[in-house]
Structure formats: structure tokens, C-alpha cells
Structure 1
């Protein structure tokens, strides 16, 4: 392969990885979990109470976030304490998303392809 093809493959691979990361952040419940974990470690029961979601739902979202390298857990008795991985970088990404949303106004929520009406 020549350098130009290698560069295109590397760029495609990077864009694919970025798209996967954004899909992991593409659920309101997962974003709420991440925001809550930004305040510190929590058990699943704490998250279910705070978010008003079923335990199985929270656990499934935590598994997704763990598989994407965004959260981790440690045992504490019979429970697990969940926390953010790479908290500073993740909070920077979420803050950047908030700034972009502010700049675009209602465009994303009104988008015919990805907006709230498509849910």
C-alpha cells in the first residue's frame, strides 16, 4: 500500500471508532448515568433511585458504558461501586457537546433524521 491509501485507511478507522464512541453516548439514559457518576462513585441502586429507571435498565446501560471504556466498577461487599474512567476527558466532550448544541439552537432536536420526532 502507498502512503495515501494507508492514510485513508487510518482516517476511516479513526472515524469508525469515533462513530462507535458517539453511539455509546447516544442514549439519554446513558448520558444521565455519566452525568450522575461525574459527582462520584455510585451503586446501581443509587443510580436507579436517582434516574427513576429499572435496575435491569441501569445495569444494561452500565455494561454498555463499561464495554466502551467509559466506566468501571469495583466490588464493595455484595454490590459494585461504579465510577467514570477518563472523567476529565469525558466531561470535556460533554461540555463541548453542550456548547455545540447552544450554537446550533434547536437544529438537532428538529432534525428530520435524528431529531426528537424520530424517537
Structure 2
């Protein structure tokens, strides 16, 4: 494989990884993922559990579905949502928690992406 092909493959791979992490970049989406880790949920269940508007939950579920992270199946007039790859998703979130513990407050205090920068 030529060096140019390797760089293109790496660029595509990194872009895909960035897209994946963008799917997890919202606190509401992370909360939805955590609730779906316990099993299938309807939108109405998630709105009650998370205290979010139905439209907000639906919007975030659509994003997660578009990223391939959740799937749905019809149940009567509603849809049941679940994680597409629950074990891999939970492993990724566990690794993120480990990294957050190792970095301490550095991520939260980051002037570009930290908590204050999001306000």
C-alpha cells in the first residue's frame, strides 16, 4: 500500500471516529444511551425518566439512529428503542470514564471544550 493510500485511509478513519464521538457529544444523548443500556425504551418512557421534552428526545434518538448507535422496532403505535451494539457502547463509555478519572479536572476546565466554554 502506497503512503498516499495509507494517509487517505487514516484520514477517512479519523473522520469516521470524529463523527462517532460527535454522536456522544451531547449530555442528553449520553443520558439516553445510559437509559437504553438498561433495555428497550419508548420515547414517552425516556421523556419521563429524563425530564426532557418529547421533541428533544425524538431529535436525539434520530441523531443516535443516524449514527448507527440505536435502532427501533414498532410496538403498536409506539416504537421501542435499543442500543445497536450495547456491549461495545458500554465498553466505550467505561473507557471514557476511566480517561476522565485519569485527567481529573483538565477536560472540564479546558478553555475550548470545557464546561465554561459551553455556556
Query: What is the TM-score of this pair, normalised by structure 2?
Result: 0.98
1:12 and 2:11 matched: yes
Following the alignment from structure 2 to structure 1, what is the Cα–Cα distance between the partners of residues 100 and 62? 27
1:91 and 2:101 matched: no
Following the alignment from structure 1 to structure 2, what is the Cα–Cα distance between the partners of residues 65 and 99? 23
Equivalence for 2:69:
70
Higher deviation after alignment, 91-100 or 2-11: 2-11
| Distance apart, 1:44 and its partner CA | 0.2
Following the alignment from structure 1 to structure 2, what is the Cα–Cα distance between the partners of residues 76 and 103? 42
Secondary structure in 2 matching 1:94: helix
Structure 1 stretches of 4+ moved >4 Å = none
| Distance apart, 1:86 and its partner CA | 0.7
Secondary structure in 1 matching 2:41: coil
CA RMSD, aligned part only? 0.7
Structure 1: gaps (5+ residues) = none
Query: What is the TM-score of this pair, normalised by structure 1?
Result: 0.98
Following the alignment from structure 1 to structure 2, what is the Cα–Cα distance between the partners of residues 54 and 114? 26
Equivalence for 1:44:
43
Following the alignment from structure 1 to structure 2, what is the Cα–Cα distance between the partners of residues 111 and 60? 28
Following the alignment from structure 1 to structure 2, what is the Cα–Cα distance between the partners of residues 21 and 39? 21
| Distance apart, 1:96 and its partner CA | 0.2
| Distance apart, 1:76 and its partner CA | 0.4
Equivalence for 2:103:
104
